[in-house]
Amino acid sequence: MNLLSLSLSSSSELYRDPRFFNGIELFNKREWYSSHDIFESLWMEVADPEKIIIQGFLQIAVGYLHLERNNLNGAIVTMSEGLMTLEFFRFNPLGINIDYLYNTTLSTLISIQDGQNLGTVELPSLRICPEIKKLT
């Protein structure tokens, strides 16, 4: 499968599934474990390319859960995996600003690796584009 050839439709079935928006809400509340559970239930049911993007959300949520629990190695590994997963989807698929999520997570990852004060890192959020909000 060529990831670059994948495209998403604004008619994605995910927009009709309340779990998608519930997962986003929990992620944005920094409830990493709960958002992971919601996204995992979706991940098991959807097909590519949505499946790949949801996997990236899962990996990043787990990375921040590791960070919250002071497991820096676990955070580095899972955040790196999430960034690699989302690399080809950075520019607004699923009506979410994935580029923002990617850049915020990358900044956190660099801060961890550089041994910086993690109390000042910006935590990511899943920002929904206005046109998608109108569909819900």
pLDDT > 90? residue 65: yes
Mean pLDDT over 101-113 rounds to 94
Nearest alpha carbon to residue 52 among 105, 90, 100: 90
5 inside domain: no
Residue that wins the pLDDT comparison between 131 and 4: 131
103 inside domain: yes
Mean pLDDT over 90-112 rounds to 85
63 inside domain: yes
101 inside domain: yes
What residues make up the domain containing 46? 12-133
Mean pLDDT over 8-22 rounds to 74
CATH code, domain carrying 84: 1.10.3450.10
Mean pLDDT (the chain) is 84
Check: CB of residue 90 under 8 Å from CB of residue 99: yes
Number of domains in the chain: 1
1 inside domain: no
Helix (H, G, I), strand (E, B) or coil at 100: helix
6 inside domain: no
The confidence score (pLDDT) of residue 33 equals 96
Q: What is the pTM of this model?
A: 0.84
